Amino acid sequence: MSRIGKKPISIPDKTEVNVSQGKVSVKGPLGELSRSFKPDINIKIEGKEITLEPVKITNESNMLWGTYASHITNMIKGVNEVFTKKLSVEGIGYKVDKQGNDIVLNVGFSHPVKFVVPEGLNVEVEKNVISIIGSNKETVGQFAAKVRATKKPEPYKGKGIRYENEVVRRKQGKRAVT
C-alpha cells in the first residue's frame, strides 16, 4: 500500500486538471503540462481533489500508485510555481557563456562543451552560476544532471560543476616525506 498514493491531491485555485483515456493534463497560470499514465491506476477528480486507486492490487500497481501521485503533484506545483536548480562552476579558467539558446562550458577540456537548452526551460548565467528554471520538475533535474556530469567536482581541489548546496568531501592528497 502506498502512503503517498492514499492521500488525496488538492487542486489549487486557477488550476484545471483533466483526465481522459489515461492522459492527465494540468493547466495553470504558468503553462500547461500533460503526461500519459498506464491504466493500472484509476485517477478520479472529485471537486477540488484528485484520488488515485489501483484497478487491481499487484506488485506493479503498488509501485506505480505512489509514483503517479508524485508525478501529478509535481505537475500541479509546476504550473503554479517554477522549479529551479542552480549549478556553480568552480576552477581556474572555468567559465560559462550563454550563446542564444545554447550554453557553452569551458571546463578544462581541449574544446568547449556546448549544450542546447531543452524547450520549456529557461537558463540564466551570472558569473559562474547557472540557473535552470522551468515548470517541469523532471526536465529541470535531468538537464541539471546532464550539465553537472560534464565535469563532476573532484575531491582534491574541488574543481568542477556542482549543485548550489552540494558539499564535496575534500581529500588531503600526497604529502612530502620529511
The pLDDT of residue 123 is: 95
- Span 157-167, pLDDT tens digits: 889 999 999 88
Report all structural domains of the chain as residue ranges with CATH numbers, in order of start: 3-80 (3.90.930.12), 83-163 (3.90.930.12)
Amino acid in the structure at residue 40: D
The pLDDT of residue 178 is: 60
**CB under 8 Å to 28, separation ≥6 — which residues?**
14, 15, 16, 76, 79, 80
pTM summary value: 0.88
Degrees, nearest 5: CA angle 104-109-112: 20
- Band of residue 177 on the pLDDT scale cut at 50, 70, 90: low
The pLDDT of residue 170 is: 87
